[in-house]
Structure 1
Amino acid sequence: MTFLLNVIWLVFAGFWLAVGYLVAGIVCCILVVTIPFGLASLRIARYALWPFGRTITERRDAGVPSLIGNVLWLLLAGWWIALCHLVTGLLLCVTIIGIPLGVANIKLVPVALVPLGREIVPT
């Protein structure tokens, strides 16, 4: 079932979402100062491509630099990216077929808010 949901997600939402995060990650990696944000964006792109059967967990070894980076990310980009995921997820939940896709989009909200110090693991 997760394979089928991932394929549907990939066709209708995941591909373009992953491309957006991939482009943002590449742009952030070009600039030296924003490399941690670029790596986090590339991680999110991989998760956005194939979200079913995976989950986000906090890394216990993430320290103060991750906290500072998350505050900067939240203030500059994270809140509006998370808001877009939330609105899109709620709109997808309007139809019965779109409910799993909406839930997957809402699952992206926490990692869009604070991406540093997180890792994606299989469920």
Structure 2
Amino acid sequence: MRLIGNIIWILLGGLVIALGWVLVGLVLCLSVVGIPLGIQAFKMAGLTLAPFGRRVVYGGGLGSTFLNIVWIVLGGWWLALAYLLAGLINMVTIIGIPFGLQSLKMARLAIMPFGSSIY
């Protein structure tokens, strides 16, 4: 199911969204201050490209919490809201439920990317 789900995901827009994340990451990495944010954008690109069969483990400490707050203020909540809406729209049909669940996984990562790892 992982392979089929990831292929369908890529064909229905996952590749385009992942390339968008890569572009955002490259732009953010142009400045020294933006490099930590760019690394998180690359993390989102990796998960957005192939979300099926991958899991996100949240951790970190006080530094990660502080950076997540900065991320949320700078626009992370918009990203999470977009993924949340996409997930809810996908869950309208039975076939879309697995894709909606992946969008919800990415919504949580979009709101708190610092201190998280993708396996």
* TM, length-normalised to structure 1: 0.91
- Measure the CA separation in 1 of the matches of 2:24 and 2:46: 13
Cα offset for 1:99? Answer: 1.6
93-102 vs 5-14, greater mean Cα deviation: 93-102
TM-aligned CA deviation for residue 54 of structure 1: 0.5
Alpha-carbon offset, residue 31 of structure 1: 1.5
Unaligned runs of 5+ in 1: none
In 2: Cα distance, 1:26 partner to 1:63 partner: 26
Q: 62, 65, 68: which is aligned to 1:67?
A: 65
Give me the whole-angstrom Cα distance separating, in 1, the residues matched to 2:88 and 2:15: 19
User: Which residue is equivalent to 2:22?
Assistant: 22
Task: Report the Cα distance in structure 1 between the residues aligned to 2:108 and 2:101, rounded to whole angstroms.
Answer: 13
Runs of 4+ residues deviating >2 angstroms: 62-65
CA distance in 1: counterparts of 2:81 and 2:116, whole angstroms = 19
Distance 2:61 2:88 in 1: 33
Q: Show the counterpart of 2:101.
A: 103
Question: Within 2, Cα distance between the matches of 1:13 and 1:71?
Answer: 29
SS in 1 for 2:32: coil
Matches of 1:85 and 1:13 in 2, distance apart?
Answer: 13
Deviation at 1:51, TM superposition (A): 0.6
Give me the whole-angstrom Cα distance separating, in 1, the residues matched to 2:102 and 2:39.
21
CA distance, structure 1, for counterparts of residue 16 and residue 75 of structure 2: 18
Question: Match of 2:47?
Answer: 47
Aligned residue for 2:32?
Answer: 32
TM-score between the two structures when normalised by the length of structure 2: 0.94
> Distance between the aligned counterparts of 2:31 and 2:63, measured in 1?
18
> 5+ residue gaps in structure 2?
none
* Secondary structure, counterpart of 2:93 in structure 1: coil
Q: Could you tell me how far apart the structure 2 residues matched to 1:68 and 1:35 are? A: 16
Identical-residue share of aligned pairs (%): 39
1:7 correspondence with 2:7 = yes
Q: How much does 1:109 deviate?
A: 1.1
Aligned length: 119
